[in-house]
Amino acid sequence: MQFLQGLLLASSSILYVFFAYYAFRHREVPGAISLGYLMLATVIWSVGAYFEIFASSIEQMIFWRNVQQIGVFGVPMLTLSFAIKYTLNRALSKIHRFLFVFPAVINLLIFTNGYHHLMRSGYDIVENAIFGKELVVHATAFDTMLVGINFVIPLLAVALFFDFRQKIGVAYKRQVTLLMISTLYTFLVTALKMSVLSSIGIYISMSVLYIPSAILFFFSLFRFDYFNLAPIAYNKVFDVIHEGVVVINKRMRIVDINPFATALIASEDKIAVGKDINACLKASFQFELAALSGQMTTYNLSCGDNRMIDMTYHPIIASENIVGAVLLLADVTGQKEYEKFLIERAYQDGLTGLLNRFGLNYFHDKHEGYQSLIVCVLDLDHFKSINDQYGHLNGDTVLIQFSDMLRETFTDHCEVARIGGEEFALYLYDQTLENAFERADTFRKRIDNHVVFTEDGNAIHFTVSIGISISVNANEPLKLIIARADEALYAAKNANRNRVMLYETNIANH
């Protein structure tokens, strides 16, 4: 029977070496490296057990039993390491390397036990009910405590698998379920060995008892294509996509976040797993999962550094209930600025920078509810003769200076536009007709006294005629108001120009 156990140990070692080799060949898959080391730790455990049962002295048996402890305390921690990587748990990934301090310290204490006796108080060789002689270790209370801690570590891996299973699609649930069963098997068989088999004198190496668990573990990975590109693609896309990805649970806590989202969200509180999404976003509204529908929803956020962010909410639904959400965040500052630029180009006059006719209509359509609306149409008198006498470049200079003076003069409750070659419009709101007339006439006098000097020293004098019309009701189309102001402008032109005229009343300024 001793030969049979040796054969099982040798066979299991070969199996574990194959699994380790396969895992390391696919090291790019999340968790594969941890899985490879897990199998190597099991190989050490099996090899140590093999040489122990064929050792010729108690000293050799003690040595090989100590060698086995590398696997005994390494396997549970490496199982947890694999679970952390497999479930893409980014919070624990940052600290998982420190977990190996625990088995390293324990193994150091075991191999130096002869100096301090903290771990073992003695050894006996007993008869194994099935396999012959067996080395029995008399553990100290400290060693028993450490073994107990080591004993429950696989349960932490099971908890990670269980939590991960709640978040993934049906296609991967079976694989995770088999991994959970395999890990639970190691816990249960360890409990069986310690509480039942050892008490009745049956000493079977745990590395032998673990063979079904390892086979089930790798069966689940092979059966559901763990080693294909899907996990790699998921992990890579999540990390490098130029869109912020945040996963939240039903308590509004962040459960996962990619680097782009971390860099994107400007917040006094550093955004991180476990934090409240509302505290990190600092939006003008409170994001509440229960208040949202099961459909995709888009929000606009404004960051403190004047960046605009589009946030798209995708619900995570389980059993017809929303259990969380995936938030996709995109920096649209450049897009919004470009849209603003296009609007400005579409609605602005290229020469003067004033609104054009389309821009004036846009402003009128966007702003409603004025108590009064007055439109003045202004036209430079004899502008054609200015172009003919001084050239179009100087004519443009006249238009630019005239526009600048309009912009400087009419700053409050007013929009200024160039609606034709030398024709301009003032859009005056929430002021009286008398005040509008007075402001227009003051500006006319200012133009009458203004001189534009050309580069060759010529002085250009020009005047302006102005027609004024007031809206008859709040819903009146702007083009009708402008049309009446145009009629008043023609009346001013016919009355020898350089004057302000009101529509219908034909009151001229003297």
Q: Catalytic residue among 268, 288, 320, 422, which?
A: 422
Strands 500-502 and 464-470: parallel
Cα 11 to chain center, whole Å? Answer: 48
Number of helical H runs and strand E runs in the chain: 19, 14
Question: And the tokens for 414?
Answer: 């007013």
Burial of 459 (0-12, 13-18, 19+ CB in 10 A): exposed
Q: Give the count of beta carbons closer than 10 Å to the beta carbon of residue 73.
A: 25
Please answer whether residues 500 and 440 qualify as being in contact, where contact means their C-beta atoms are separated by less than 8 angstroms: yes
Please answer whether residues 43 and 16 qualify as being in contact, where contact means their C-beta atoms are separated by less than 8 angstroms: yes
The residues near 369 (Cβ < 8 Å, ≥ 6 apart) are 474
SS (H, E, C) 197-243: HHHHCCCCCHHHHCHHHHHHHHHHHHHCCCCCHHHHHHHHHHHHCCC
Q: What angle do CA 368, 374, 377 make, to 5 degrees?
A: 120
SS (H, E, C) 486-510: HHHHHHHHHCCCCCEEECCCCCECC
DSSP three-state, residue 311: strand
Residue found by looking up tokens 């028993």 in the block: 144
Q: Is 320 among the residues known to form the active site?
A: no
Catalytic residue positions?
Answer: 422
